[in-house]
Chain A
Amino acid sequence: MSYGIKLHLSGDFACFTRPEMKVERVSYDIITPSAARGIIEAIYWKPQIRWIIDRIHVLKPIRFTNIRRNEVGAKASAPTAAAMNGDIVVLPGIIADDPKTRQQRASTLLRDIAYVIEAHFDILDYRFERGGPELPANDCAGKHLDVFKRRARGGQCFHQPCLGNREFPARFSLIEDGDPLPACELPPEQLNKELGWMLHDLSYLPADKKAKDSFLTGRGKRVRTEPRFFHAQLENGIVTVPPLQSATA
């Protein structure tokens, strides 16, 4: 049985920010695997499953546009974040219209995008890892797969999935098994294209206090992140995503 799904994504704007140009944002040419994972997880995710992106089909010509947006230069402090979560009542706040905080920055965005994301998930069997009985994998996987498909068909999501930035909502629809894929409208010169090194995803590594970029997770574990990159290449309009383990760190 295959646990794979195909999801059709589209939107008017998208900004998959390159890490090297994330101040005055410049987008990657196509959606990154981590952004695609985020969209799928917005539809359905449980701690027991881990989504893995297999292939990205690019359906629309890669086009850029340029806008200026008002952004902020400061981060919300820990008390502000706590207040936003409803943990405390007093809101110290971050005043977005404060001229010291407010910043106008340029962004180079993608226009009018559409992708088909092929993905599957792995079952994480924590109990088995700790010496318990092994889960009957297929049953369990079938359940998650059906939940995902039902939710995607109905347009349900935990939060509105977005294309890189919250300002750019993603439209999605499930492509049923056996259904044809939407037509690819890429011009011939973009069908096969070298996209260079692209962010795959972050891997979280245990760290000690000495590592200066370490931080505490919600569960109180001390970790640090390491970005992993892969060599993205459009072949006939499709980017094949290698497993995260094989991506270069």
Chain B
Amino acid sequence: MKFVDEYRQSETIQKIATEIRKETTRPWTIMEVCGGQTHAIVKNRLDQLLPQVIELVHGPGCPVCVTPLETIDRAIAIAALPGVIFCSFGDMLRVPGSEYSLLDVKADGGDIRIIYSPLQAVKIAEDHPTKQVVFFAVGFETTAAANAMAATQAKQKSLKNFSLLVSQFLVTPAIASICAAKDTRVQGFLAAGHVCSITGYESYLPLAEKYQVPIVVTGFEPLDILEGLLMCLRQLEQGSYQVENQYLRAVERTGNRPAQVLLNNVFSVSAQCWRGLGEIPASGLALAEEFSDLDATKKFALPEIKPREQHQCISGAIMLGLKKPGDCPHFGTTCRPDHPLGAPMVSSEGACSAYHRYSQQVKTRESSMSSPNNQ
């Protein structure tokens, strides 16, 4: 398949892996920001090709994992209301709220529909004028652009029965927050290619400069990831800290202007709470004033949501690169995909789910790499 197979060819990948081994002279800790990259690494077992001294840690780039508990509880409350059709991407359904997941609400009779594109939710609203259709608009800039399209279309069609429950995140402030943390172990970043295809990468330039950290915009195929790693390692070894673009086939420096205009029309930058990380200023996208009539939180009078915070899952530390899934005492024992204690074990983009699904050997290897210094 074009644009896939050529980035999975064994010979080329082995060649890059050899380069990485040759050029690595000391230990480095590099974060791949996106959950999709984590899955590609673990699924293809790219870790087995790397020198032991390179440690990959996993970033907060899984929108399913970082959607706050309160928002999940709110989604569950809305989805359980009579007369509501609740539309969501599939992997949000399993995420545990304080007591239930959306899958539980569905099993108890809630009309919850898995959609593949935000525009499907608009179509469902058109087809069911007597129902209230709510779309769970979760995602980073990439998905937010499609969500903005759905909101725009609903406005154009003057749909009165369509609204969005928004939980959208901006990646740059999260990377900045990781860089600024005094206990951070991350020395270089592989930035999420698909986010940069919308935003470009100019916003990373001051970050790289301020925190003296290399940032390489990287794609999702095995070859992309190894190339991104090699570019990042060369900078680390040379002591430089530039923003580089490995994902040339999809990302331009200034990004996708029409998509940015669409985003700016529909959403405004807001403070955002990240599940496991807490609130990060200016790291979210909320509905802009002109679109506030599409805000599901205003449309439905819900009782006060009181999320039940309990603290056994270490997802925050995992997403900051301070710990890895295997460091969690619950990993693979009391926390498993069929009994998750936290969102990273649920979502198909979650680091714990990736580790659990693809490998027990990873756990063994990482345990052998862990030292008191990196706990």
A associates with B:
no
Using a CB–CB cutoff of 8 Å, the interface residues on chain B facing chain A are none
